[in-house]
Every structure is written in C-alpha cells, then in structure tokens.
Structure 1
Amino acid sequence: MSIAEPGFASSPFFEQLASGLENEDLKKKAIAGVKAVIVITLKNKEGKEKSWVLDLKKEGSGYKADGAAPKGDVQLLLADADFVKLAEGKANGQKLFMNGKLKVKGNLMKATAIESVFKTLDSRPKL
C-alpha cells in the first residue's frame, strides 16, 4: 500500500520513513527513541488535509490514515510546505511552533522527537 498522497510535496518523506522502518535495527532505534504514536496532519496549497501515522510505540510502522486523523500520543498540524522544510532540516520545529505554524495536540515532549526520527531513518547517503 502506497503511503504517498497526490498533491502533497511531503509524500516522499513519508515513503522514506516507511522504508527506513523496514530495517529492523532502525525500527528498534526509532521505537526506543520515541515510544509514541505520532499523527501528522498536513494541509496542502489547495487546502486539502491528510494525516499520516508513525507508530513508534509498538509496531514501528508508518502509514497514511484514511478519513479523520486517528488518535495518537501526539498530533502535529502544519502546512505541507512547512513539513517539507522541517524534514529537510531547513526549518526548526520549535520556531515553527513559536510562530504558530506548527500546532501540537497531546504530549509536547514526544513532538520534539520527530526531528531525531528523520535523522535516524534518513536513507540518503551521508556526505
């Protein structure tokens, strides 16, 4: 099942996360570091909303949610473009939050773990 969503620039990052979680060592590291279910709800340029779920509590999986966002330990709400910047390391989650571009529902401490997840599961070669 594809985790990509047409019209969302962030889709490749979710595919990268999902493929990274197929590696058992990376999966264990991500679960140990986060211990939470993170729901990421994004809004694209057209105003369409979509949610993705990163189960980094038990399953060590990432998938696209059908319909309404499911309940998790923490939910991040932001624009698709801001998520892309965050995933690329070009934006700071704390600054996005302080500027009102990132909204967090649930455990704020678990929300801070998302940046380390991207670093852990980044399958791109390190230069």
Structure 2
Amino acid sequence: MSDDIKVPGFNASELISGLKDVFEKYSDTERKAQIKKTNGIFELQVSNDAKETVTWTIDMKKSGTVFKGKAQPKADVTIILSDDTLIDLANGKLNGQKAFMTGKLKTRGNMMLATKLDTVLKGAKAKL
C-alpha cells in the first residue's frame, strides 16, 4: 500500500492510495493508452472538515503516476474540492458537472480537461 501518499484526517487518502496502486500495476501498454486518452496533469486541492488542505497530483500526461504534492511542471488543471466531494465523485454519487454547477468543485486552468477526471477515477476503480 502507498502509505507515503496517505494523509490522516482525509477519507480521500484511501482513494488516492488505491489509485496510485492501480497506476503502478498498469502494464506499459495500459499506461500509454491512459496517458494518450487523458493527456493532462490534474492537481487536486482537497480540504477536510477541519479546514486542512492537502494537494495530490495525478500525472496522466507524462508518467502516469499519482503523488502527494504540487504538480511539477505546473498542472493543466487545478481542481479545488472537499474531501467528501472527491469521495462522492469517485463513487459515482455525484458527477463533476453538477459538482461544478453547485459550487462544490472549482477549477483553475483547462476546465475541459477537468471533465476527464471522472474517466480516470472510473477506469482505476474498475481495476481495484
């Protein structure tokens, strides 16, 4: 398990850790296909009920990896959301467009790329 990516107090830690594990198990062919399909770097700024914030980066442009911290080079899209909203998106209880329209999710950068996060989460969830 990817303990270096987990942050106490964040339910999304398990989700992100699982995502990292799935990405690490991708074959080179699967990784290249995912990168080609997505072609973007997502920076997730997630806050919890205690008003703490953690940043995770999903690189689906170059390396096909997930890590804790800011994107290097800069992200194509930064997605700002709560811990609960990220969990609901990953579980399919909420769709990204609705979350954006209701103010539960904010973006900076390539907003159209943000719509692909749903696909990345669902693809990895299918592999779990």
Q: TM-score of the superposition, structure 2-length normalised?
A: 0.89
Shift of 1:13: 0.9
For residue 35 of structure 1, report the CA deviation from its aligned partner: 0.4
State the 1:74 CA deviation: 0.2
Match of 1:19 in 2: 21
1:61 equivalent in alignment to 2:41: no
Letter in 2 for 1:79: S
User: Per the alignment, in what secondary structure is the counterpart of residue 27 of structure 1?
Assistant: helix
- Match for residue 95 of structure 1? 98
Bigger relative CO (Cα 8 Å, ≥ 6 apart): 1
Q: In 2, are the aligned partners of 1:54 and 1:61 still within 8 Å (CA)?
A: yes
Gaps of 5+ in 1: none
1:3 corresponds to: 5
Pick the structure with more helix per residue: 2
Task: Give unmatched runs, 5+ long, in structure 2.
Answer: none
SS state at 1:28 partner: helix
Q: Which residue is 2:87 aligned to? A: 84
For 2:123 and 2:17, the matched residues in 1 are separated by 14
Contact 1:20 1:27 in 2 (8 A): no
1:34 aligns with 2:47: no
Asked if 2 retains the 8 angstrom alpha-carbon contact of 1:38 and 1:111, the reply is yes
Q: Distance in 1 between matches of 2:78 and 2:33?
A: 21
- Runs of 4 or more above 4 Å deviation: none
Q: 1:26, 1:121 within 8 Å by CA — same for their partners in 2? A: no
Aligned residues: 121
The Cα shift of 1:14 comes to 0.5
Corresponding residue number in structure 1 for 2:110: 107
Q: 1:29 offset after TM fit, Å? A: 2.7
TM-score with structure 1 setting the length: 0.89
> Hey, what's the Cα distance between the residues in 2 that align with 1:85 and 1:26?
26
C-alpha RMSD over aligned residues: 1.3
- Partner-residue secondary structure (3-state), 2:44: strand
Matched-pair identity in %: 35
Q: Aligned match of 1:51 in 34, 47, 55? A: 55
